Amino acid sequence: MARYLGPERFGQYNFALSIITISSVFVTLGLDRILIKEFASKSINKDILLGSGLWIKFTGSIIGYLLAIFICVLTPDTDTETRSLVLLMGLSYLFRLSECIEIWFQSELKLEIAARAKLIALLISSLIKCTLIFYEFSLISFGVILTVEMAVISLFLTIAYVKTGERLSFLSFRFDVVKSLISQSWPLLFSALSGILYTQIDKLMIGANLGMKELAFYAVYLQIMMIPRLFIASLNMSFSTMVSQKYAAGDNGFWTFLTRVLTINTWIAFLATILLTVFGVPLIKVLFGNDFCYDSYALPMIIAISYVIQAPGSFRVEYLILSSDAKTIFYFRIIALLCNISLNYLLLPIYGILGTAISGLITTIFYEIILNSIPLQSRNYQKVYLISLCNAITQKPLVKLKDHCPIKGIFK
């Protein structure tokens, strides 16, 4: 796809995708992690909880779509093609209601159903991409792909849910449950917004200040790093319900289990850092072509190191939710966002996209290691963070972890 579109149009595609990613925060409304906790606790009737979540997400999808349009209006440099991409991609929000069903499957440890639906959607979207490229469709046509992918995932999840014999009804909701969910999730909404702005604002700043071609260079390196990110995210989805259950049990097994999970996350990120640093530039040439190659090994190395530092913090949000301290996430992410914007403002004009990568690394160190060591309530997690970081380098993270994995045989 990147080869077909070329750097300029691929940069436009990623610029539109960044706008969609930012406004998608209002689709989730910080609700996903709260639903995982509530499904696991079984304190509220499942049908009422699911119906309430569906209505909240439906409202959020409307807000998110209107916000995406508003961002386009506020960005005067965006052309007609980019705005059309945003409008088409934004339609995918309506199909994200099925994420509530996915969360229920996750709470029941039926992860293979959601994984199968996503795999089928990926294959279909890949076929559509190949067709669009073969028949030389325009850039705007690629905006449909995200919506089709989400529609397929939604369809398969809904069918799988109905086949379990469960009842799916929008009418199964209560206003007091909706109010309770929103009161718990609003700090996560704004913390997620600040977190996504922190990860996406650099792309918008590159596109607005350096041009779409430079944004394409930066985006392809981030896409290479998405491979270990997606793998770790899949593992975290597998373990999240077990983490909640072990925390509720109130024994020391929670910290032991969490340390092992974070150790393997960090180990995978550490291995990816070595591979990306050594093979990043040649890999970009092979996969995307010479037009996308940024001839500096410093760029992939800095991006990869940033992710190693982030990896042990992958369950920080879940822990603070379980300990009823979600507001801390919001305040710290706002500080990190302001730090990242300030550093980009200083370094981007001087060092280009390399300055953006340096800004991200400095902000990551400040947020993960320094900022989160300050409050007393997060120091227990911070100890596990540092232990996991050391374990990933000095020990074999797979030892004993396979005994705890709900996906049997994954670590054989």
Note whether 65 and 104 are same-domain residues: yes
Which of these three, 130, 152, 175, is where a domain ends? Answer: 175
57 touches 29 (CB < 8 A): yes
Nearest partner of 22 among 77, 91, 85, 90, judged by Cα:
90
Region 375-397: mean pLDDT is 78
Q: Which domain holds residue 153?
A: 1-175
pLDDT mean over 327-343 = 85
Judge if 336 and 393 occupy the same domain.
yes
* Residue 80 binned pLDDT confidence (cut-offs 50, 70, 90): confident
Residues 310, 403 share a domain: yes
- Are 149 and 195 within one domain? no
- Are 205 and 329 found together in one domain? yes
Residue 359: predicted pLDDT? 92
Share of the chain above pLDDT 90, in %: 7
DSSP 30: T
Q: Given this model, what pLDDT does residue 347 score?
A: 93
Which of 45-59, 74-88, 359-373 has the largest mean confidence?
359-373
Domain final residue pick, 131, 154, 175: 175
The pLDDT value given to residue 170: 57
Residues of 118-131 as b/e, b for ≥16 C-beta within 10 angstroms? Answer: beebeebbeebbee
Domain boundary (145, 175, 205) is at 175
Rounded CA-CA distance 301/303 in Å is 6
Contact 37, 165 (CB under 8 A): no
Instruction: Examine residue 180 and state whether it is found in any structural domain, yes or no.
Output: no
Predicted confidence at residue 412, as pLDDT, reads 42
Q: Give pLDDT, residue 374.
A: 82
Q: How many domains does the chain have?
A: 2
pLDDT band (50, 70, 90) for residue 251: low
Q: Residue 209: what pLDDT?
A: 84
Q: What residue spans of 164-315 are helical by DSSP H?
A: 175-209, 212-249, 253-288, 298-310
* CB 164, CB 120: distance < 8 Å: no
> Do 116 and 214 share a structural domain?
no
Does 181 map to a domain? no
Based on the fold, state whether residues 114 and 212 are members of the same structural domain: no
99-107 and 212-249 helices, crossing angle to 10°: 40
Q: Are residues 124 and 217 in the same domain?
A: no
Assess whether 17 and 49 both reside in one domain: yes
pLDDT at residue number 401: 47
170 and 220 in a single domain? The answer is no
134 and 274 part of one domain: no
- Per residue in 200-227, pLDDT tens? 888 888 888 888 888 888 888 888 877 7
End-to-end alpha-carbon separation of the chain, Å?
A: 35
**Using alpha carbons only, how large is the chain's radius of gyration in Å?**
21
Shared-domain flag, residues 195 and 167? no
Reported confidence tier of residue 363, pLDDT bands at 50, 70, 90: very high
User: Do the domain assignments include residue 18?
Assistant: yes
